[in-house]
């Protein structure tokens, strides 16, 4: 990993790294972000791996301008007005994803919405333009550590987990973006942040609903979001034998395909080569696919509780919890 002054050449190099699926940390007006190509599931999975996050939460996707946002999500009138008034800037809009957005499922943690924002930092914006991709970027720190406001903080915290850190000096706000769910006519403030809710209300003459869930949206608890995608099928974990007839199997690792020949239900392997990054990238799409088939239950083979396995197992445990 290298900390590099954000010259035009360095930004081009960073953009190439991002397009190849690598992680690049860059300054925004809030804190340093850990960026990955939001359309590349494995790249997004490696964000969780690098941060050591014990669960998956949906990430904020950064866009170069509002036209990109329109390609990724449906933008109702109210959302359009908020974006026009506050972008670029630290206001994030939660919107319904377009089915052809090309975004990874993991970036939304399996939800049908996506959080978008256009940052107001010259380096972040140049990088977004150069990369030509929307970039997922949570704060560039290990899970549970303090958000980084300087390039060296990122280097100290993430070391070789990040391919490059673009140095743009100290960030201005150090406070996170304000998050508004603007996917419907009702605008819900999911998280307070750099731009006060009142400022948004007064600028646009609209009323924001203060979310009772606001507490549960804080990063530590965000895996508990009530709106998290939950399959209808019953989910059984750590199944190694005794698959039932017609039951779907969600496998991990090389040997399971052979075992499954014994049963007739649908079969998906999250990663035949037992790669946790690949498995994380495939997880939500796999759950949706099996669920769409209408299977009564999904048997999941054991997934090691190490690295990203912890977040994968956390998600599957929630899916398996009685409802």
CA 159 to chain centre: 21
Nearest CA among 322, 243, 260, 318 for reference residue 287:
318
Identify which of residues 43 and 250 has a Cβ nearer to ligand AMP in the complex.
Answer: 43
Q: How far is the CB of 36 from ligand AMP (least distance, A)?
A: 12
Judged by CB under 6 A, which stretch of 19-27, 152-160, 214-222, 290-298 contacts ligand AMP?
214-222
Considering only residues 39, 40, 101, 108, which one is a binding residue for ligand AMP as defined by CB under 6 A?
A: 108
Query: By the 8 A CB rule, do 28 and 143 touch?
Result: no
Tell me the C-alpha to C-alpha distance, in Å, between residue 175 and each of 73, 143, 170, 284, 291. 26, 17, 13, 30, 39
Asked if 139 touches Mg ion (CB under 5 A), the answer is yes
Residue of this chain nearest to Mg ion (CB atom): 139
- Which residue lies nearer to Mg ion by CB, 90 or 231? 90
- State the burial class of residue 102 (Cβ atoms within 10 Å of its Cβ: 0-12, 13-18, 19+): middle
Cα 167 from Cα 26, distance rounded (Å): 7
> What are the residues whose beta carbons fall under 8 Å from the beta carbon of 159, sequence distance 6 or more?
1
Cβ nearer to ligand AMP, comparing 218 with 232: 218
**Binding partner selected for residue 223 from Mg ion, ligand AMP, none, CB under the kind-specific 5 to 8 Å limit:** none
Q: Is 103 in the site for ligand AMP (CB under 6 A)?
A: no
Q: Among the candidate windows 138-146, 181-189, 260-268, 293-301, which touches Mg ion by CB under 5 A?
A: 138-146
Q: Which of 60, 75, 164, 270 binds ligand AMP (CB under 6 A)?
A: 60
CA dist., res. 204 & res. 296, Å (int): 47
Q: Is 58 in the site for ligand AMP (CB under 6 A)?
A: yes
> Does 219 help bind ligand AMP (rule: CB under 6 A)?
yes
Contact characters 26-55, ligand AMP, x per CB under 6 A: ------------------------------
* Residue number with CB closer to ligand AMP (58 or 231): 58
Please identify, among the stretches 74-82, 83-91, 111-119, 166-174, the one whose residues bind ligand AMP according to the rule CB under 6 A: 111-119
DSSP-assigned beta bridge partners for residue 189 = 180, 210
Do 320 and 235 contact (CB within 8 A), yes or no? Answer: yes
Q: Are strands 32-37 and 135-136 parallel, antiparallel or unpaired?
A: antiparallel
Backbone angles phi, psi at 276, to 5 degrees: -65, -30
Minimum separation from the CB atom of position 54 to ligand AMP (A): 14
Q: What is the CA radius of gyration of the chain?
A: 20
> How are beta strands 91-97 and 113-117 bridged, if at all?
antiparallel
**Which of 28, 39, 46, 57 forms a contact with ligand AMP (CB under 6 A)?**
57
Contacts of 322 (CB under 8 A, 6+ apart): none
What is the spatial distance between Cα 284 and Cα 292, in angstroms, rounded to a whole number? 12
Q: Is 115 in the site for ligand AMP (CB under 6 A)?
A: yes
217 contributes a contact to ligand AMP by CB under 6 A: yes
Nearer to Mg ion, 59 or 63 (CB): 59
**Interface positions with ligand AMP (CB under 6 A):** 57-60, 94, 108, 111, 113-115, 138-139, 176, 179, 190-191, 217, 219, 222
List contacts with Mg ion (CB under 5 A). Answer: 139
């Amino acid at each position: 990993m290298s900390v590099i002054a954000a010259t035009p050449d360095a930004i081009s190099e960073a953009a190439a790294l991002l397009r190849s699926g690598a992680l690049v940390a860059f300054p925004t007006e809030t804190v340093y972000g850990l960026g990955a190509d939001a359309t590349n599931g494995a790249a997004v999975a490696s964000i969780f791996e690098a941060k050591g996050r014990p669960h998956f939460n949906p990430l904020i996707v950064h866009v170069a301008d509002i036209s990109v946002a329109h390609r990724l999500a449906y933008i109702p009138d109210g959302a359009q007005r908020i974006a026009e008034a506050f972008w670029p800037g630290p206001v994030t809009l939660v919107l319904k994803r377009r089915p052809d957005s090309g975004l990874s499922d993991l970036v939304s943690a399996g939800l049908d919405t996506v959080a978008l924002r256009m940052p107001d930092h010259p380096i972040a914006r140049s990088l977004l333009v150069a990369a030509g991709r929307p970039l997922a970027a949570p704060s560039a720190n290990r899970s549970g550590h303090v958000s980084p406001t300087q390039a060296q903080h990122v280097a100290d915290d993430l070391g070789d987990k990040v391919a490059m850190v673009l140095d743009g000096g100290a960030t201005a706000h150090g406070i996170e973006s304000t998050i508004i769910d603007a996917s419907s006519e009702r605008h819900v403030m999911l998280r307070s942040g750099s731009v006060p809710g009142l400022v948004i209300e007064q600028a646009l003459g609209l009323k924001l609903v203060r979310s009772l869930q606001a507490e549960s949206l804080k990063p530590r608890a965000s895996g508990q979001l009530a709106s998290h995608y939950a399959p209808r099928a019953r989910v059984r974990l750590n199944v190694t034998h005794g698959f039932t007839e017609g039951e779907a199997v969600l496998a991990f690792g090389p040997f399971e395909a052979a075992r499954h020949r014994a049963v007739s239900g649908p079969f998906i392997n999250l990663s035949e080569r037992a790669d946790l990054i690949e498995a994380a990238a495939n997880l939500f799409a796999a759950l949706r696919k099996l669920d769409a088939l209408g299977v009564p239950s999904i048997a999941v083979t054991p997934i090691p509780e190490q690295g990203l396995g912890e977040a994968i197992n956390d998600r599957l445990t929630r899916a398996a919890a009685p409802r």
